[in-house]
Structure 1
C-alpha cells in the first residue's frame, strides 16, 4: 500500500510534467494540469500528516511532528486513566455486582437435593436428654438461644477469621479459580461495553488523529489490545497484572487480619446481618428443628439426623431465595467487598499498565500503533491525492467559467 500511494503521487507528477510540455499544442490539457498539480499537493500534505504522527518527516526537526513517540508518556497515563475511570471504579464494579444475586444463588444451592451433611448424634443418656428438652418451653428457649447466639457472634471478631481463611486458601492455591472468574467477568464486561470504550477513545483523540480518520482504528486497536491482555493474564500464571492481582488479594487477607479500619467495616456488616429480623426468624426455625431432631435421636439412638439437618439447610435456602431484605443485606456485603478491593488496589493495576507503556521506547509504540492501523494510513494518502486533484480541477473549472 505504501508503494501504491507513492506510485500514485509519482504518476501525478509525471502527468503534470507531460501535460505542461504539450500544453501549447493542446490548451485543453490545462484541466489535466490543474488536477495533477492539486493531486500532488494533496498527496504530499497527507503524506506529511500521516508521517508526522509516527516520526519526523525526512528526519527534519519540524515542530509538532513524531507526535506518538513524543507523547508516549501522556498516552500511557491516558490509557491508565481510561482503564481506571471506566473499568476499575467503585461505581462500575457496584453496577456489575448488582446484576448478580449472590444470596439467591446460595439459596438455590442449599435447596437443591443432597445439600445436607451426614451427621449422627449418639448418646448414652438419651431418655434423660429427651425429657429435659421436652420439658423446656420451645418459644422461650428459642429466644434465649437466639439471643445467646447473637451475643456470642457479637463477641467474635469475624474479620481475622476471614483473613486467616483467605490466607490459608491462598497458600493452598484455592484462590486461583476466583481470580480466573474475575478475569473472565472483566472480559464479559468489556464485551458488553465495547461501544462505550470506542466512543471514549474517539472523544479523547486529539484533533489531528480525528482529522486523519485514525480515531476509529485507534479505538479498535485499544479494544483488541485489552482483549489480548485479558487473554494473556488468563493463560499466563506469571503475568505481571495477574501477579499484581494476587498481591492485592494477599494484601486484602492481611488487612482483614491486621487493619483496624477494615475490621471495623466487616464488624459493621456482620451486625447488620445479625440484626435482620429474617435471620432471627430463620434461626428460631432452625433451633426448633434441631430440638425436635435431638429429641428424636435421643429417643431413638439408631435414628438418622441428616434429614433434619438437610431440612434446616433447605429452610435457610428458602430464606435466602425468598427474603428480599436478607438478599439485599448479603448482596450489599458482597458488593462492598468487591468495591473495597477495587478502591484499594485498582490504582496499582492501572499503575502497572502505565509503567509498562512508559518503558516502551518511542519506536516500539509507534511501530505497534502503525502496524495496528495498517493499510488505512496509506488509503489516507491515496484519498488525499485523488480528493486534492478533484478540488484543484473544480477550482480551475470555476476560474474558467467566471
Structure 2
C-alpha cells in the first residue's frame, strides 16, 4: 500500500513537471493545476500519516511521533475504557441478573450428553491428580503433614468439647436408658441365664469340689445353679427397671457425677491430658499403625485409579447422575435457583471490584513496557492500509481542488476582463 501511494505521488509529480515543460497552456494548464495540488495533498497527508508513528524523514518536528510519545497515555486510556465499559460492577450485575445463570447452568446440566461430558472430563482430570498424589515425595509430605496435625491435636480438649455437647440437657441419660434396656434384655435371655449357671457350676467345682459333691447328693448342683442364675438375672433386671423408672435413682446420680467429673478433668486435669497425649503419640509412632496407614493409602489410591481408568467408571456414573440431577433440580426449584443466583451476583460484585483495579493496572503496565518500535510496527500493520487510503484520498482530493481553483481563477480573469 505504501508503494502504491508512493507511485501515485510520483505520477502527480511527473505530471506537474511535464505540464511545466509543455508550457503550461491550454489543456496542460489544467494538468498542471491538478498535479500541483495533488502533489501538495499527497505530501501533506503523507506527513500527517507518518507523524502518527514516527518523525517524518527522521526530523523531530513538533507534534510528530504521536503514538510512541503518547504510549503511556494510550495505555491509561485503554485501561480506563476497559474498566468503565467492560468491568463496571453495576453493568456486570445487571447483565448477570438478566442472564439468570443458575437456570442456564441447570438447562445445560440436565442434558444427558452434557452431564456425561462433564463427568468424563472430571474423571480424566482426576487421574493425573491421583498420579501426582501417589508420587513418593508428595505422599510422604501429605502423610507427614497429617501426622504433624494429629501430633499437635489437643485430643483431650476436643473430647471435652464433644462430650460437653453430647451431655448437654441430659442427653447422656438417654444413652444410659438405652444401655440399661439393652442390658436388661440381654440378662433376661435364656441363653445368658444358662451361661451364667454353667459359669457358677464351674467356679464351684474349682473352688469347693468336696462341698459340691456333698451338696450334689442332696440336690443337683446344676439345678441349684440354674435357680441361682434365674434369681440373679431377675434381681438385676428388677434393679435395672428401678433405675429406668426413677429419675433420681442413686445409680443415675453416680453416673451423672462420674460423667461430669470426667468431662471436667478432660478440660482441666494436666495429668489426664498428658496421659491421653502420650497414648496418642504412642499410637502415631507405632510401626504397625504407620504400616497400616500406608497400606490403606495404597489400597484407596489403587481402587480409585482402577475405577477412574475404566470407561464404565462407577465414580463417573455417579457424577453423571449427580450433575444431571442437579440440573433438573435447578430448573424446578425456584428457591435454590434464586439462592445460587444471589451467591453468584455477590461473588461477581466482589470480583468486579478487584478485577477493575487489577486489570486496569495490568493494561497500563503492559502498554508502558511495550517496545516503542514493536508497538509502532504492530499498529502500522493493523491500521496502516487504511491510513494509506488517506494518502490516496489526499492526492485525489488535492487534485480536484486544484482543478476547481484553476477554474475559479479563469472565471475570475474572464469576469474581470
Q: TM-score, normalised by structure 2?
A: 0.44
Give the greater-gyration-radius structure (CA).
Answer: 2
Q: TM-score, normalised by structure 1?
A: 0.46
Give 1 or 2: higher helix fraction.
Answer: 2
